[in-house]
C-alpha cells in the first residue's frame, strides 16, 4: 500500500510540474518573437515527453498488478522463501537460488505468462530491475496475446 501511495504522490507532483512548465512554454509562445517561440516550443516538448513516460509507466504498473491479481486468484503467486538479513534485506545467495529455480521453470515453459511473471519477481528480488521489467513486459505480452517484445 505504501508503494501505491508513493507512486500516486510522485505522479501528482509530476503532473503539477508538467502544468507549470507547460504554462511557461505557452507564455513564451505568446511573446511572439522568433527566439521566445523557439524556446516555448522546446519547453513544451518536455511536459509532452514526461506525460507520455508517466502514462506508459502507469499502464505497465496497472497491467502488472492485474496479472498479480489473476495469479493470486489461481493460487500461483510465488511464495516468499527468501532468507533475509537481520535488517530485513534479501540475502543475495538466497535470491540467486530462487532465481535459478524460476529461470529453469521459465525455460521449461517459455510460452507461459505465469512463469515469466514469477521470473520477473525473482529478477526484482535479485535487484536486477531492467531484466525484471523486461520479463514482466514479456509476461504481459504473453497474457494479452500480443507480439513479444524483443
Read off the pLDDT of residues 90-128 as tens digits, 9 standing for 90 and up. Answer: 878 888 888 889 999 999 999 999 999 999 999 988 888
- The CA distance from 19 to 22, in Å, is 5
Read off the pLDDT of residues 33-78 as tens digits, 9 standing for 90 and up. Answer: 999 999 999 999 999 999 999 999 999 999 999 999 999 999 888 8
Is residue 82's pLDDT more than 70? yes
Environment class of residue 115 by beta-carbon count within 10 Å: exposed (0-12), middle (13-18) or buried (19+)? buried
pLDDT of residue 85: 80
Amino acid at each position: 500500500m505504501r508503494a501505491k501511495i508513493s507512486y500516486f504522490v510522485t505522479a501528482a507532483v509530476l503532473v503539477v510540474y508538467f502544468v507549470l512548465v507547460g504554462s511557461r512554454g505557452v507564455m513564451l509562445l505568446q511573446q511572439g518573437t522568433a527566439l521566445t517561440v523557439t524556446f516555448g516550443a522546446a519547453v513544451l516538448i518536455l511536459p509532452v515527453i514526461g506525460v507520455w513516460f508517466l502514462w506508459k509507466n502507469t499502464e505497465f504498473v496497472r497491467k502488472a498488478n492485474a496479472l498479480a491479481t489473476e495469479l493470486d486468484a489461481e493460487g500461483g503467486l510465488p511464495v516468499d522463501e527468501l532468507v533475509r538479513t537481520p535488517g530485513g534485506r534479501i540475502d543475495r545467495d538466497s535470491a540467486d537460488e530462487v532465481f535459478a529455480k524460476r529461470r529453469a521453470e521459465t525455460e521449461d515453459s517459455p510460452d507461459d505468462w505465469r512463469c515469466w511473471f514469477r521470473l520477473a519477481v525473482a529478477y526484482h528480488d535479485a535487484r536486477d530491475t531492467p531484466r525484471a521489467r523486461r520479463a514482466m513486459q514479456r509476461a504481459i505480452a504473453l497474457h494479452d496475446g500480443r507480439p513479444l517484445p524483443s
